[in-house]
Chain A
Amino acid sequence: MTKGQKAAVYLFLIVISAVCVFPLYWMASSATNNSLDVVRGRMLPGLYLAENFRSILLQQDLFRALINSFRNAIVQTFLAMAVCSVAGYGFEIYHDRAKDALFSVLLLAMMLPFVAIMIPLFRMFSGWHMVNRYMAFVLPSVATPFLIMMFRQAARSFPVEIIEASRVDGLSETGIFLRMFVPTMKATYGAAVTVTFMNSWNSYMWPKVIFQDNNSTTMPMLVANLLGGYTVDYGMLMLGVLICTLPTAIIFFGLQKSFTNGIMGAVKG
């Protein structure tokens, strides 16, 4: 590349990165401004952070929503890891014709639009008297074809020799999975945890359907509720958005390395 081309590439990357980062800066700085300044397009941080925080607390049960969202996401992530990593391992290590066929059938579930199964799911859980119960939110997304596929790909790179040696050493099949596979697949688990936690934390349509009382409100629902009034307080709204974004952003940064490695493993296979 000539110097001119190189400069053009950097300029392109800088412009794109700026476009990507700016709305997030806007969110953070607006959270410290009052509504009037936000709609006037004020770009600098202001002094209204505490006041916006008070407004949210007056209007919404912020701590309840935070606790709900954390509990939902943690339980869902934990169950999803247990069920999907075991399944991905099973489909690869013990594969035979029947299991391969079953796996292809499970992949079809990826195509089902959630909006299509939402109504029967809702009827099912109301039949079980589970409306407003957090397990009704968690259960439908415990097993996803995407996660099973990710762990299946990871298991593909797991050396057969280790399995054979462990069998010779007298380790049980479950023992091999728990003591050999799980510790070596930290990157895959990191990626899977990131994806699952984020999906759970951010999900909006299903909680909107299944959580009908104020006690089970989640963070995205709370943010959407902030729009409810006659006039929108944009400063308060942006603070809500910021609080809703922080946990996933922190998890993402914490697990970024294993996330990209995990995705790479999944795509490469």
Chain B
Amino acid sequence: MNRKKGLTLQKKKLLTGWFFVIPATAFIFLFSFYPMLQAFILSLHRGVGQNLSWNGFANYTRILKDRVFFQTMRNTFVYLIIQVPIMLLLALILASVLNNRSLRFRGLFRTMIFLPCATSLVSYSMIFRSMFANDGFVNTMLRGVGMAPVGWFQSGTAARAVIIIALVWRWTGYNMVFYLAGMQSIDYALYESAKIDGASVFASFRHITVPLLRPTILMTAIMSISGTLQLFDESVNLTNGGPGRETMTMSHYIYNTSFVQSPNFSYAAAVSVVILVMIAVLSFIQMKVGDKRD
């Protein structure tokens, strides 16, 4: 960090530096930190519009008794626990396979696997909705191989499975690109000498790729956890939270509490503060665990 200390930074240059960073800082404070503070203050009130009255922590104690909230929390954690590990492991395997320089058509494979990221979240929700429709493509295929069709959106478990499949489809290539990028900074000679020493493909994956990619893996894990806890578009457009509320995510619940039927901004704000705390705690644990093994 000291490589520019040799410069004599005159006052003018110091001012230029601040002049460069202040617009972005102002935007982030005004449109991220200040609203977050507002959300917290709002969560301690009750009422509609401008008629807010102090409510203490009543919104938070209400959350503890809110069955729907716990249902949506359970759904979100099911997505988190099943989808994130599958997706990251698959992305890591694909990246290490594609990092092999003797492989042909690497660029083509990489492009095809990354392609799902070009679709918007609403779009791919619709694609999966039509593919998994009752007489849709997937059930036609199942019948074709002599299996019973599944009512994908009739049971909570099946509908959650569709969401997980869709998520893995959409995001695996995205994470793979980060791993491929991280692998560029691993000296390729390491793999070649491991090979000469007779190490198996799995051994070099386990002892070279995974340890050296740890910072990138940590970053993708934090991004995925935070993204999964904020799932919204899929819950709204793929299953509409149903059947019942069995696939509804926490963000979908907050949206409904805020803008559908009888809007309750202050309670919704309390729920969103709880999500923020969850993301912060999980990211913190991730960073601690990620650091320890070094």
Contact = CB atoms under 8 A, between A and B. Distances in A.
Contact of A86 (B23, B34, B180, B272): B23
Interface in A111-131: 111-121, 123-124
Contacts of B47: none
13 contacts: A13-B98, A17-B113, A41-B141, A86-B21, A86-B24, A87-B23, A90-B19, A96-B9, A109-B28, A117-B36, A117-B39, A245-B119, A264-B181
Interface stretch (B61-69, B81-89, B131-139, B152-160): B131-139
Given A23-B124, A24-B116, A115-B272, A94 B17 contact: yes
A3 interface: no
Contact of A106 (B25, B122, B130, B140): B25
Interface of A: 1, 5, 9, 12-13, 16-17, 19-21, 23-24, 26-27, 30, 38-41, 43, 83-84, 86-87, 89-91, 93-96, 99-100, 102, 106, 109-121, 123-124, 139-143, 145, 148, 160, 164, 173-174, 177, 198, 201-202, 204-205, 208-209, 219-220, 223-224, 227, 234, 237-238, 240-241, 244-245, 248-249, 252, 256, 260, 263-264, 266-268
A148 to B, nearest CB: 6
A30 B272 CA distance: 38
**Majority-rule SS of B interface residues:** helix
Contacts of B259: 209
Interface of B: 1, 3-4, 7, 9, 12-14, 16-21, 23-25, 27-28, 31-36, 38-39, 42, 94, 97-98, 100, 102-103, 109, 111-113, 115-124, 126-128, 130-131, 133-141, 169, 172-173, 177-178, 180-182, 184-185, 201, 216, 219, 226, 229-230, 232-233, 236-237, 250-251, 254-255, 258-259, 265, 268-269, 272-273, 275-276, 279-280, 283
A139 to B, nearest CB: 6
Nearest to A110: B226
Contacts of A205: 232-233, 251, 255
A244 B123 contact: yes
Given A24-B115, A26-B131, A256-B111, A119 B272 contact: yes
Q: Taking each of B121, B181, B255, which has the highest tally of chain A beta carbons within 10 Å of its own beta carbon?
A: B181
Contacts of B102: 1
B181 A263 contact: yes
A256 B131 CA distance: 28
Given A41-B136, A89-B20, 5 more contacts: A20-B112, A113-B229, A116-B276, A120-B269, A241-B126
A115 B251 contact: yes
Nearest to A202: B120
Contact of B4 (A9, A95, A113, A252): A95
Contact of A93 (B4, B236, B280): B4
B20 A87 contact: yes
Contacts of B283: 111
